[in-house]
Amino acid sequence: MILTYFGHSAFQIEAGGATLLFDPFITGNKHTSGVVRAEDLHPDLIFLTHAHGDHWGDTMDIAQRSGALVVGNFEVTNYVQAQGHAHVYPLNTGGTGHFDFGRATMTYARHSSSFPDGTYGGNPNGYLLHAEGRCIYNTGDTSAFAEMAWIGEDHQVDCMLMPVGDRFTMGSRGSIRAAAMVGARQNIPLHYDTFAPIETDIGAWAAAMGRAGLPAHILAPGECLTLAAA
């Protein structure tokens, strides 16, 4: 399983013979400059956590060009279909989708969700991804919430991806609380330093994680992380 980070909350996972793309905000994302272009990406599946522009991004361009299956909540997949892409897989909070590469369970996220044109985007979500004997938890845009402890009890999470930029999501303190509840073997920060309101001292975050006894792994845009199959 190979995870490639593109900056902000966009990343790609290659697992089980499939390429999965999450929240493909590529065009207009300052982190992707010189790293990747939307036209370079050819995923088999696109997973959307919610409808905000900095997550929705290049979804339609990539989906229509690649023929990717778009996975999201009911409102998101309805919107995708209305835009002319019929290949969708709707889920909702707590539901699990079964795919050739493995399975994905849609989780709760504490945030909001609307498309750039103002259309309601349903409830925001995260995903628990199981593939190749590994578990990755992408929290989506959220603050910490108590039910994360259940995720830690019910799943051995190998890698947790979570926002740390504050202002619109949890910041350092909230992300440390979330990481402690989930107990992942590795924690990767997302959703920071893209815009002025979410600029953060990511080194200070990593140091605070260390003081709390929690593993932290900062990925630079374009950097890959390999998780060996269990």
pLDDT tens string 165-204: 999 999 999 999 999 999 999 999 999 999 999 999 999 9
And the tokens for 135? Answer: 């578990």
User: Quick one: CA dihedral 186, 191, 194, 199, positive or negative?
Assistant: negative
**Domain span at 31:** 2-226
Task: Flag whether pLDDT at 230 surpasses 80.
Answer: no
Rounded to two decimals, the pTM is 0.98
Give the model confidence (pLDDT) of 78-122 as tens digits: 999 999 999 999 999 999 999 999 999 999 999 999 999 999 999
Q: Are strands 69-73 and 88-91 parallel, antiparallel or unpaired?
A: parallel
CA distances from 167 to 42, 124, 145, 206 (A): 33, 17, 16, 18
Q: Residue 8 has what DSSP assignment?
A: T
Task: State the Cα–Cα distance between residues 162 and 169, nearest whole angstrom.
Answer: 9
Confidence of residue 29 (pLDDT cuts 50, 70, 90): very high
Average pLDDT, the chain: 98
Nearest one of 146, 144, 228 to 186, comparing CA atoms: 228
Query: With 90 as the cut, is the pLDDT of residue 229 above it?
Result: no
Residue 128, SS3 per DSSP: strand
The whole-angstrom separation of Cα 225 and Cα 161 is: 12
Residue 181 C-alpha from the chain's centroid: 18
Give the CA-trace dihedral at 64, 68, 73, 75, to 10 degrees: 20
- Number of domains comprising the chain: 1
For residue 228, the model assigns a pLDDT of 85
Give the CATH number for residue 47: 3.60.15.10
* Residue at 123: amino acid letter: N
